[in-house]
Amino acid sequence: MTGANNRLKKILIAAGGIVFVIVCWNIITYIEHRGLVKITVDALPNDSLVTLDGKNISAGGIYVKPGEHTLKASRQYFESVVNSFNTNRINTSAPIYLLPIPNTAAALKWLEQNPAVQQQREAEAGVESDSIQSQLTNANSFFNQLPIIYGDGQGGFVRIDEGAPLSPGGPPTVYVTAATPAARQGVLTYMRSRGYDPAAMNIVFNSQSIPIWSNGGD
């Protein structure tokens, strides 16, 4: 009986030690990643050299500071691809695909000899294309309603307009005139409540107030 008790005690001590290590690891991980944003990077071919803001990284889940970043994937015989993004404007739960371009005979031959990789590339390119198309369809539906003008509750109006893109081929741009931080935050809430994703659009805020007697510039 004493032997059985000793074995049970050892098992409980070992289990307690494992739980303690896991808890400590989770605490350390939380502290290290606090304030950072997790993104997932997927590069094909798998042996592509991937950099984030000029520093080598491994593909997979990584943590970055909120804001603007640049990813680059390079491989012998392939043309490098660059993806610049803002963590505030992308769906961070979706992978970022990096597919170096096979613009040489050697690259095309490599893909021909590795059909599984080519199939993965085609599948990922399809997913990315579907995601972009979904964002554009969603944004176009929203743009069809513009301009939108409503009261800000403080004697003025909030106005939401469509304007020129910030860069050729970039995401849709929305121009918002709102006088206060609360009113600007209210625009984002307004968009989300109607099923539109502000992260899929460039949003430019103008703090100028539109008086309640104004016709909004029409």
Structural domain spans, the chain: 1-34, 36-140, 145-211
Residue 41 one-letter amino acid = V
Q: Note whether 41 and 71 are within 8 A (CB).
A: yes
35-52, pLDDT tens digit by residue?
899 999 999 999 999 999
146-205, pLDDT tens digit by residue?
788 877 666 677 888 877 666 666 666 888 888 788 788 888 887 877 777 777 777 888
Q: Note whether 128 and 141 are within 8 A (CB).
A: no
Task: Give the torsion through C-alpha atoms of 65, 69, 75, 79, to 10 deg.
Answer: 170
| CATH code, 36-140 | 2.60.40
82-107, pLDDT tens digit by residue?
988 898 888 888 888 898 888 888 88
pTM, rounded to two decimals: 0.50
Q: Dihedral sign, CA of 113, 119, 124, 125? A: positive
